[in-house]
């Protein structure tokens, strides 16, 4: 598959949210996940080039071509059409108006929406000790993080050719360099795959958990360890893998601390490190859990939290930015309100 083919796929993916802002999010996420798994390489990936090739100009211009390609990409990836069936889809598409094609895309989007996503959020028993809306807020943060990670993955894949995406990458991870770029791209992909294909279990560690039975599997404490609640600046932490195996090893586990429920904003504050988005916290902790990132320190021994320190390390020691969890949180903020 040529570079031009990948550019065509990326452009088609971008147009989903432009042309279908109300219905397109779930469809885009489903296609993105498939592009990272069963259509990542080989003959399956190559088949997309054939699917998206629609020949000469059509009546209706560029917008109709975008709608047609969205329809064909969705049929191939989500509708699981074979190459033979795709030939029929193309014949049908050629005979339809843009409005009729839009109807087909909306139908596919609705079918995706009716199918529960592979990555589910599991709420631990400790949420019973928190405010009534604690679980809803936590789940909403994960939902938003999934969207952002999908956009991040699409963006970083385009960063070598797209000046805007390249600038986003270089802002947080330093000048474009192959090894560093590949590492960041791989980490973003791992996080997106994890949150969309594996269960994510969340634990409440805000106010009200003192002296309650610990619901963390494998914990050495009888009652909940309240360090996260006692530290007003602690938003969360991840739980490492389970040495004894079992079902818990098949999940990703994140503890959400008191600050998550008292200080998180809808969107991160551009300079105040204590005011970050809930989705950003999820991305930060996922990077620890899935990519083995650290809370790195700069040359002065300060932990690399917040925009000022993370911007500086991208310039002064970009290799350290690649392994710093908060650099990924701040990178994710670049996509927080994007319709990429």
Residue-wise pLDDT for 81-90, tens only, equals: 998 999 999 9
Class of 121-337 in CATH: alpha beta
pLDDT tens digits, residue range 131-174? 888 999 999 999 999 999 999 999 999 999 999 999 999 999 99
pLDDT tens digits, residue range 274-290? 678 999 999 999 999 99
CA distance 138 to 103: 34
What does the mean pLDDT of the chain come to?
A: 85
In this prediction, residue 246 carries a pLDDT of: 47
The SS3 call for residue 131 is coil
Would you state the structure tokens that stand for residue 275, as one six-digit string? 């005011």
The SS3 call for residue 115 is coil
Would you list the domain boundaries of the chain? 5-114, 121-337
Mean pLDDT of the 25-49 span: 82
CA distance 285 to 290: 9
Q: Phi/psi of residue 255, each to 5°?
A: -90, 130
Q: Which of 18, 22, 327 is nearest to 156 (CA)?
A: 327
Comparing 10-19, 69-78, 269-278, 293-302, the range with the smallest average pLDDT is: 269-278
CB within 8 Å of 78: residues ≥ 6 apart: 27, 30, 31, 34, 108, 111, 112
The model's pTM is 0.73
Consecutive H or E run containing 74: helix 61-77
**Percent of residues, the chain, with pLDDT higher than 90:** 49
In this prediction, residue 121 carries a pLDDT of: 86
In this prediction, residue 57 carries a pLDDT of: 44
What are the distances in angstroms from CA 44 to CA 4, 37, 48, 77, 326?
17, 10, 7, 10, 35
The edge-to-edge listing of strands for the beta sheet with 252-257 is 121-123, 200-205, 252-257, 236-239
pLDDT band at 304 (very low <50, low <70, confident <90, very high): very high
Q: Which of 198, 234, 201 is nearest to 215 (CA)?
A: 201
pLDDT tens digits, residue range 202-235? 988 888 887 777 777 666 656 666 555 555 456 7
As separate numbers, helices (DSSP H) first and strands (DSSP E) second, the chain gives 15, 4
């Amino acid at each position: 598959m040529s570079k031009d083919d990948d550019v065509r796929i990326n452009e088609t993916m971008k147009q989903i949210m432009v042309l279908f802002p109300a219905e397109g999010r779930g469809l885009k996420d489903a296609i993105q996940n498939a592009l990272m798994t069963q259509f990542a390489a080989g003959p399956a990936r190559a088949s997309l080039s054939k699917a998206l090739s629609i020949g000469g100009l059509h009546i209706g211009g560029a917008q109709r071509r975008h709608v047609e390609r969205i329809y064909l990409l969705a049929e191939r990836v989500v509708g699981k059409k074979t190459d033979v069936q795709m030939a029929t889809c193309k014949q049908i598409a050629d005979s339809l108006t843009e409005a009729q094609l839009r109807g087909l895309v909306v139908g596919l989007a609705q079918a995706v929406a009716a199918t529960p996503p592979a990555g589910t959020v599991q709420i631990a028993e400790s949420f019973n000790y928190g405010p009534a809306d604690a679980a809803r807020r936590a789940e909403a943060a994960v939902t938003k993080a999934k969207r952002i990670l999908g956009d991040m993955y699409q963006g970083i894949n385009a960063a070598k050719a797209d000046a805007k995406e390249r600038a986003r990458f270089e802002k947080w991870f330093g000048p474009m360099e192959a090894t560093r770029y590949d590492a960041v791209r791989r980490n973003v992909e791992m996080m997106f795959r994890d949150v969309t294909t594996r269960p994510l279990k969340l634990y409440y560690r805000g106010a009200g958990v003192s002296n309650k039975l610990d619901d963390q599997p494998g914990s050495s404490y009888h009652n909940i360890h309240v360090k996260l609640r006692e530290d007003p600046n602690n938003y969360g932490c991840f739980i490492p893998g389970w040495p004894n195996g079992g079902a818990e090893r098949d999940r990703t586990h994140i503890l959400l601390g008191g600050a998550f429920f008292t200080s998180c904003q809808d969107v991160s504050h551009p300079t105040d490190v204590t005011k970050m988005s809930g989705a950003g916290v999820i991305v930060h902790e996922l990077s620890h859990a899935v990519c083995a990132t650290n809370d790195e320190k700069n040359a002065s021994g300060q932990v690399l939290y917040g925009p000022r320190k993370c911007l500086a390390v991208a310039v002064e020691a970009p290799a350290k930015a690649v392994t710093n969890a908060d650099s990924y949180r701040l990178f994710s903020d670049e996509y927080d309100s994007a319709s990429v």
